[in-house]
Structure 1
């Protein structure tokens, strides 16, 4: 816990998932963030954003600092070990998974059902390892982002089950401890001797299905362990020093995947601040189209082709704009309207306000979206040696949208809320769109479109090299400035310029020396960029991982390895990453855990591993 704030540091939270929703568990054992039944549902436990917005603690009474916290290896199941004056306690926490028994009526699927699915419950199991330990349960939901304290009622006068209701939501708390109801809280205390166990579970499943007893609770956690390990066993992760961070990143990306549709949320949370106490607070519980190519790269590198196909089918199902292009982001169920509102009754994390629900950038003009989608389509097509018929209209629509828009200014990859500009990264992704579309047309055998789109890609390339390169030979942020922007590193990652091109090498060197704090990369200098917001940012973790990849591409393998090693050292205690890293105070900032950061870690790690393997062959 922070010594100066009632809010735990962002990086100290543990992440749980059942691939429908996720939870954040504080070091003291409190669930401080949980939205049910889906990632983007209103929170039932929202202490993350206001210390009165709902929490659920299960652990030793009177002891708040655990001895050790770790994931069961190869899983998203958390174990916490506690040392108390009376003995030792072990706690298991899991959003449980189990064999599919029929249609999911809680969060209906649009993708083919898998063998395993979410139980729609949070199960918590404690075991006294030694001595005698008093265990406390304190469940205090506050529905609709803290607006509605729970109303509780015992189930059939049973002291071991109670229902919480509020704001149109309901779930059931069950336990083998005797429950007492006190206002908006359900509480219990019980002393365990060595070898004894206790459990509690929250269920929002159909008919509020819950563990029958402590053995059933233990079985559900064990089935969840098996689910994650069997899933991870399908992944291709080389025997290399980077194996563990790659596994944790893979588990995190899978945990941020919404199984019913195949969508991936950008992060579990909303409104965790990019600037401490500031206004740069956004809702990231949606699917960004620009993430598509990074998601596909990571999934295919890890040999997780089923997940890659699920994601591409989600993209294929999306409703386009009137011009046929896709929005920059969608809801995890494919909805287009993500109208933004604020919850001014919430204090915000460490006073960072406003707290936002929805994301006003959903209808922004961002010309990079077409390149991200088409690059992912080409990657997926080459991997599968097949372009599904239903995806060809998507290819044509994105290519035509890129053709129609690439000359226009936009808000850029960072969704600046200032005036539109001719951002180099947007032009670059326009080139990616037409270059990849041409290659897809060639695969399909449409040589006329292949020729047309290839010529357009050449035109965009020439325009960027004429207007997007400063006098010193460095890629600009946009055409009317010489300011640097880390997004121009994508020129290396997407092959716009080869690694031995002097302009690419100079751009990488300029960003590494002029756009960093202690070696970690900023998106841009806020004082040089009209992003419509106030306040300074931390360094962006994805940009630092991009620099690792760019170093590798331009032949600076030692610098790439050194930077990646530094990035691995600043991971959270459980191996997770937020969006930003504040160097001065050595802390994570922004929404958590952040898919983009973990996707970029996988991509950077893959390049390091490839270089190491090639070096072995040259010996």
Structure 2
């Protein structure tokens, strides 16, 4: 569907979007050259482009052939998060290279970051778009429609006198657009075109490029119109954007070169590399916090109400994050994440939240934005997340990878230990209470089995750490509660008639979260109760492709959802640990086939097997992919050794 005089397909598949960023924010770019989602200068800033959530009223920034029938093909430049879109016709070819300049990808201290923000001489999170003709000639059109604050604020557009750019103001957001080297393209013109949406005028530029000719567009956001004019002045046009592109590429390539990928992940090295780049992209450089996803309100089912704001950091992701970083051999990111964890503001364990903002914000009030129609009509748009007020006991067990500190060179100092000890004491005081569970149920709290297991994990890892380090702890109490909790889980959490661990005490509902029990060390993977839980999960909680649903919805919300990529990875991990390696590989490869051309994943897979549902790209899915790829490679080697050992014994007999 093409609307009006525009040439953007209204609803590109979510997994068709390329994602670029600078560890402060990201921009989502469709194969037709349209930037349809951008929150600048930070991940959680109000959006300036939101056509992803409303094809008619949302803002966008598109550079593409004037002939709207041409389809673009996208790729990432080798080992980077720099995106290139190529358009080819009989008359010519153009390449659109998109990136956010990166000064460094090395972790920096809070003091260094603060100084950089206070004394900066360049715009934050600039979007650079370089268009070059590589063959023949082609007419190109640029269209920019800024819709500040999720299109809820009107925009005022002023063109520069020299026809080289524009300033757009809306509320507290001030956007500057500049075009470099326009004097080399005589056909270049820029104008404000008539738009039915009088609140948000559209800027249009048209030009023809011949082989070897290029143009560069620069867009940035400032909180003051005076700052925007100062930072986006004539001097900025003198910058060497080719040099900045080369430097940005080198930063990404140097970073990924430090990851242990090719030597450890065999045939899946490419997928692990892209997932690693996604995780780095979603790491907020100033604090080390990791975004769950850079988008909000992308639906879990089209037309339903299951869509949430994921632009926050969940404490439960601590364990998965550190495990993935440890698998990659990345120490600085793990240390930065731990540093962030040590700085989050809470008075005591009673005050701990499920999630925090990337600047350590505690107030994440959930609000509905009614002006936008939502992705494919799935409304409302949600800003903030009400789950931050829930009690979720599993988050404390998310600290269980503290035992990997020696492997990842993270020092467990006395101040951090005081916090960990307080959290374990909190578990001792509260493990018998119901909670909202890992899936953040919006029903009455229950005794979720997975939450109880993660309470056991917190106790178990706390005991191990105290023993290994000799740091002060109430070991007798911790040990007593750990054993009491384990006995209760095995008695009340496993249903012999069902042959599986259940979602909560007293029900017969399956929950894919219980696939984590052997992965966190609660049970051996070949324990009969775990073997039967895996079988029941495969029988009752998977689709024909072997993809796993989180649970059959009983969560107080209407509608359904797709299968869950993370849970599917947990099944793969279990099969690998059981030496059912061929089955695990088959499911993993089917899952990989559901990614878009760029190898990015959202949270779920819909009924048609395409990666559409859920916010995109999702960090937890990419963490799970890294871990599953590692587990598959390790399982193959381990199972081969087991078979070889068995053959040796039989030969001796």
CA 1:381 to 1:167, structure 2 compared with 1: closer, same or farther past 3 Å? farther
Match of 1:78 in 2: 83
- Do 2:300 and 2:561's aligned partners in 1 also have CA atoms closer than 8 Å? yes
Of residues 199, 203, 225, the one that matches 1:186 is 203
Query: Would the alpha carbon gap of residues 609 and 2 (structure 1) be closer, same or farther in structure 2, given more than 3 Å must change?
Result: farther
How far the C-alpha of 1:161 sits from its partner, in A, is 2.5
The one of 31, 35, 41 equivalent to 1:31 is 35
1:484 and 1:420 map into 2 onto residues whose CA distance is 17
Alignment of 1:85-164 (within 5 A): 85-98=90-103, 109=114, 120-155=125-160, 157-164=161-168
- 1: CA distance, partners of 2:159 / 2:379: 37
Distance 1:390 1:65, change over 3 A: farther
Structure 2 CA distance for aligned equivalents of residues 501 and 111 of structure 1: 54
Question: Distance in 2 between the 1:110 and 1:378 partners?
Answer: 34
What does residue range 150-229 of structure 1 map to in structure 2 within 5 Å? Answer: 150-155=155-160, 157-176=161-180, 177=182, 178-182=189-193, 184-204=201-221, 207-209=230-232, 212-213=236-237, 216-229=240-253
Q: Does 1:538 align with 2:562?
A: yes
**Could you tell me how far 1:342 is from its partner in structure 2?**
0.3
The question of whether the paired residues in 2 share the 8 Å contact of 1:272 and 1:590 is answered with yes
Corresponding residue of 2:44: 40
Contact 1:53 1:147 in 2 (8 A): no
- Partners of 1:280 and 1:533 within 8 A in 2: yes
3-state SS of 1:225 partner? helix
Contact 2:32 2:72 in 1 (8 A): no
Match for 2:470 among 428, 434, 445? 445
Match of 1:404 among 407, 426, 429: 429
- Are the equivalent residues in 2 in contact too, given 1:63–1:84 (CA < 8 A)? no
Give yes or no for the alignment of 1:244 onto 2:291: no
SS at 1:180's partner residue? strand
Distance in structure 1 (CA, Å) of the matches to 2:488 and 2:115: 42
Secondary structure (helix, strand or coil) at the match of 1:158 reads coil
- In the alignment, which residue of structure 1 is the partner of 2:454? 429
Query: CA offset at residue 381 of structure 1?
Result: 4.8
1-structure distance, mates of 2:96, 2:218: 13
The 3 A distance-change label for structure 1 pair 566 and 191 is same
For 1:303 and 1:545, locate their aligned partners in 2 and report how far apart those are by CA, in whole Å.
21
Bigger CA radius of gyration: 2
Determine the C-alpha separation between the residues in 2 that align with 1:14 and 1:522. Answer: 26
Distance 1:571 1:122, change over 3 A: same
Output the aligned Cα RMSD: 2.6
Q: Tell me the SS of whatever aligns to 1:276.
A: coil
Deviation at 1:67, TM superposition (A): 4.2
User: Retained in 2: the 8 A contact 1:548–1:564?
Assistant: yes
Tell me, yes or no, if the aligned pair for 1:110 and 1:261 is still in contact at 8 Å. no
**135-144 or 157-166: bigger deviation:** 157-166
Task: Note the alpha carbon deviations across 1:270-316, whole angstroms, 9 max, x for none.
Answer: 00000110000100000000101000000111011000000011011
Establish whether residue 601 from structure 1 lines up as the match of residue 625 from structure 2: yes
CA contact (8 A) 1:271 1:281 kept: yes
1:164 aligns to what SS in structure 2?
A: strand
Q: Does 1:478 align with 2:504?
A: yes
Q: In 2, are the aligned partners of 1:86 and 1:131 still within 8 Å (CA)?
A: yes
Which residue pairs with 1:420 in the alignment?
445
For 1:263 and 1:253, locate their aligned partners in 2 and report how far apart those are by CA, in whole Å: 11
1-structure distance, mates of 2:123, 2:176: 16
Per-residue Cα deviation, 1:386-433 (whole angstroms, up to 9, x for no partner):
312221111112101211221111111000001111100000100011
Unaligned runs of 5+ in 1: none
8 Å contact kept, 2:525–2:578: yes
In structure 1, the residue matched to 2:61 is 56
Q: State yes or no: 1:521 paired with 2:548.
A: yes
TM-score, length basis structure 1:
0.93
The one of 522, 525, 531 aligned to 1:499: 525
Shift of 1:109: 4.4
* Separation in 2, partners of 1:264, 1:488: 25
TM-score, scaled to structure 2? 0.89
SS at match of 1:434: helix
Structure 2: distance between partners of 1:579 and 1:244: 20
Inter-partner Cα distance in structure 2 for 1:329 and 1:321? 15
In structure 2, distance between residues paired with 1:149 and 1:135: 28
Quick check: 2:298–2:307 contact (8 Å CA) kept in 1?
yes
1:127-162 deviation digits (Å, cap 9, x = unpaired)? 11111111111111000001124212234x231132
C-alpha separation in 1, matches of 2:428 and 2:578: 30
In structure 2, the CA distance between the partners of 1:45 and 1:338, relative to structure 1 (3 Å rule), is: same
* Structure 2 counterpart of 1:302: 328
Deviations 1:173-195 (A, max 9, x none): 11034432346222211111111
Deviation at residue 219 of structure 1 after TM alignment: 2.1
CA contact (8 A) 1:31 1:57 kept: yes
- Shift of residue 218, structure 1, vs aligned partner: 2.2
Q: 2:595 aligns with which of 565, 571, 579?
A: 571
1:586 to 604, 610, 620: 610
* Stretch deviating more after TM superposition (202-211 or 69-78): 202-211
Q: Look up the SS of the partner of 1:516 in the other structure.
A: coil
Q: Give the equivalent residue in structure 2 for 1:332.
A: 358
Give CA deviations for 1:163-220 in whole Å, capped at 9, x if unaligned.
1111111121110344323462222111111111111010236643478459822222
Q: Among 494, 509, 514, which residue is 1:469 paired with?
A: 494
Counterpart in the other structure of 1:354? 380
Counterpart pick for 1:257 among 272, 280, 283: 283
- Greater share of residues in strand: 1
Deviation at 1:448, TM superposition (A): 5.5
Correspondence 1:8 to 2:25: no
Confirm or deny that 1:555 pairs with 2:579: yes
* Number of the residue aligned with 2:650: none
* Distance (whole Å) between structure 2 residues aligned to residue 111 and residue 425 of structure 1: 43
Could you report, residue by residue, the CA deviation over 1:557-584 in whole angstroms, capped at 9, with x for unpaired residues?
A: 2221111111111111110000110133
